[in-house]
Amino acid sequence: MKSPRITWISRDDPPDAFPSIDAAMETPDGLLAAGGDLSKERLLYAYRHGIFPWFDDGQPILWWSPNPRCVILPGEFHVSRRLRQFFRNSAYEIRFNSAFDRVIERCADDRHGQDGTWITEEMKSAYRGLHRDGWAHSVEVYRDDQLIGGLYGLSIDRCFFGESMFSDMTNASKAAMLALCQIIATHGFTLLDCQVESPHLLSLGARLMPRDTFAATLQKCCANATKFEDWPVNASKISTFLAETRPAALQ
């Protein structure tokens, strides 16, 4: 039996120089290619086709497309009775795109039980560039004007690709997820891509989607490659995001 071979991408190769995602390895799950760069054009092409970068310092850029994919339909974000009560009585405040740099820095901080971070300086620089160009966005959670949680990711057409989140206080990252899901559900988004499953995400309503179904969905919901710009300008209490929203249909 032949050992699987990884495709190497040169920095000089065009942004679409990825192999078919069907060629991704089974072990490690989803490893597809290595090399290339983190240019805006390559990153946007990758995300639209079900591929994302994930690597540590000292490694080449590694590109992944796991099977299955962990996703949340925006209207299916699960708020338990206890969590709903917590948010109703909470002083947490939600803002959008007010502190992208601080959010990505906090997401990159070393966490308990982890050896380093995959959010390298190269990654931070690339996503800050995407934020300046209107593709990458952050959701921030504040209490008493102190940043206590948040997340960031990319918005392309009708899909939001979540990258990372952090929490310094109870349920702060869940507050960011709730606010994000309500905003994108209200505006007809199809998917929130969570990349890789975890018990935490599954408890919040995430589901597993076969990679071919995920790719076919992206082909439709990212067809126009448009930016989403209708983010709330003013801060809002987390309790305002508790209204029920129906999930968008997989069209």
Q: Over the stretch 196-206, which tens digit does the pLDDT of each residue have?
A: 999 999 999 99
Same domain, 32 and 109: no
Residues 215, 67 contacting (CB under 8 angstroms): no
3 pLDDT tier (thresholds 50, 70, 90): very low
Same domain, 56 and 161: no
Does this model's pTM top 0.75? My answer is yes
247 pLDDT tier (thresholds 50, 70, 90): very low
Residue 33 confidence (pLDDT): 98
Bridge partners, residue 152, by sequence: 138, 164
Q: Which residue has the tokens 């983010």?
A: 231
Answer whether residue 86 is part of any domain.
yes
On the question of pLDDT at 246 being above 50, the answer is no
Q: Over the stretch 150-170, which tens digit does the pLDDT of each residue have?
A: 999 999 999 999 999 999 999
Same domain, 53 and 168: no
Strand ranges for 89-181 from DSSP E: 93-96, 136-143, 146-156, 159-167
Q: Which of 7, 10, 6 lies closest to 42, judged by CA?
A: 10
Residue 15 CB-density burial (10 A; 0-12 exposed, 13-18 middle, 19+ buried): middle
Q: Over the stretch 38-67, which tens digit does the pLDDT of each residue have?
A: 999 999 999 999 999 999 988 999 999 999
On the question of pLDDT at 17 being above 50, the answer is yes
Residue 74 confidence (pLDDT): 87
Residues 32, 24 contacting (CB under 8 angstroms): yes
On the question of pLDDT at 237 being above 50, the answer is yes
Same domain, 105 and 182: yes
Same domain, 31 and 132: no
On the question of pLDDT at 26 being above 80, the answer is yes
Backbone angles phi, psi at 83, to 5 degrees: -70, -40
Q: Tokens for 182?
A: 């309500």
Report cis status (omega within 30 of 0) of the bond before 66. Answer: no
Q: Tokens for 18?
A: 């990825």
- State the average pLDDT for the chain: 92
Residue 243 confidence (pLDDT): 76
Pair type for strands 7-9 and 31-35: parallel
Answer whether residue 161 is part of any domain.
yes
- What is the number of structural domains in the chain? 2
Domain that residue 217 falls in: 70-241
Residue 123 sits in a domain whose CATH number is: 3.40.630.70
Same domain, 58 and 157: no
Same domain, 189 and 218: yes
Distance between CA atoms of 32 and 24, rounded to whole angstroms?
A: 4
Residue 80 confidence (pLDDT): 94
Residues 167, 149 contacting (CB under 8 angstroms): yes
